[in-house]
Amino acid sequence: MNLEGRKIIVNKSSKDLVEILKSPENYKDFMPDGLQKFETREDGFKFGLQGMPEIALKIDEVTDEKAVLKSASSNLDFSLTAALHPLNENQTEVQMLFEGKFNPFIKMMVEKPLQNFINTLTDKIEAYK
């Protein structure tokens, strides 16, 4: 299952964004409003949203072109990538890309909430100061 967020322009250099996305604490700023729990770990974070199970993510890779978060649970196989495309020294185009391997039943249950989550992440990153 693949999902995409809309492409946005963030008024930060790709180097600044890379520094932000390397740090687990900064992801709290991008979470939806229904956040009920947020715990950082050395290599990632765990969060809980109202009405959803807790999700643990590890920061797998951060380069000038992308930041990749992967599921920290062996039960779920997915990744969430922020694709970074520098436009100039003060602006970067960002697009959230979700890739997951789910059976058809799980896919049917999670597709809409995941798309909403990606849309919220996109909005929060776009508004990030």
CATH number at residue 101: 3.30.530.20
Q: Into how many domains does the chain fold?
A: 1
What is the number of helices (H) and of strands (E) in the chain? Answer: 2, 8
DSSP 25-69: GGGGGGS-TTEEEEEEETTEEEEEETTS--EEEEEEEE-SSEEEE
51-55, 59-63, 76-80: least confident range: 51-55
DSSP 7-18: PEEESS-HHHHH
Q: Which domain holds residue 76?
A: 2-127
pTM confidence score: 0.91
**In terms of residues, how long is the chain?**
129
2-6, 22-26, 61-65, 72-76: least confident range: 72-76
Note whether 64 and 86 are within 8 A (CB): yes
* Per-residue pLDDT, 50: 82
Smallest CA-to-CA distance from 128 within 7, 4, 21, 30 is with: 30
